[in-house]
Amino acid sequence: MRPRISVRAVFYNHGHILLCKHQDERGFWYITPGGGVEHGETLEDAFHRELMEEIGLKATMGDVLCIRDLISDRSPTPYLPKHFHQIEIFVEGKAPSFIDTASKLDPAQIGYEWVPLEQLDSILFFPTELVEVFKNREFSTIYQGHKL
């Protein structure tokens, strides 16, 4: 089975990062907005579609910040499907403009928040192994690989 390609937007604003908020038995957890690239879609097409679906946001896609592999068979967890492999491409988001589409947003999430960077290591943020990279905005290594 081929890996799934995902584009994820990273927005920073005055010491905060924009995150999608979810909830399950672990409590609240957060991820950067984005999702899978569909057949025939460019990364930029997926960037725009996912932002609109998840948070009702229009923005400009910037440069690639980092890429990582997510392989569930190497990091067993009950929260990922067996044999799941996703290549996540994190890109800089610029000039966000929110559109009032709250009733149409992704039902799998409960909202979004601008989270202070200093709180990133005290919340359940995924990818957890890259908290310091995102917190410090230190993307010196583009390929992050698969980390446990």
Strand pairing partners for 94?
60
Question: Which position has the token pair 């192994």?
Answer: 129
- Which is it for strands 125-126 and 27-31: parallel, antiparallel or unpaired? parallel
| pLDDT, tens only, 40-79 | 999 999 999 999 988 889 999 999 999 999 888 777 666 7
What angle (nearest 5°) sits at the alpha carbon of residue 47, between those of residues 54 and 52? 30
Preceding omega of 127 cis (within 30 degrees of 0) = yes
List the beta bridge partners of residue 113. Answer: 19
Q: Rounded CA gap, 132 and 128, in Å?
A: 9
pLDDT by residue, tens only, the chain of 148 residues:
789 999 999 999 999 999 999 998 889 999 999 999 999 999 999 999 999 988 889 999 999 999 999 888 777 666 777 888 899 999 999 999 988 665 566 777 888 999 999 999 999 999 998 999 999 999 988 998 877 5
* CA-based nearest residue to 21, from 106, 105, 110: 110
C-alpha–C-alpha distance, residues 119 and 114, integer Å:
11
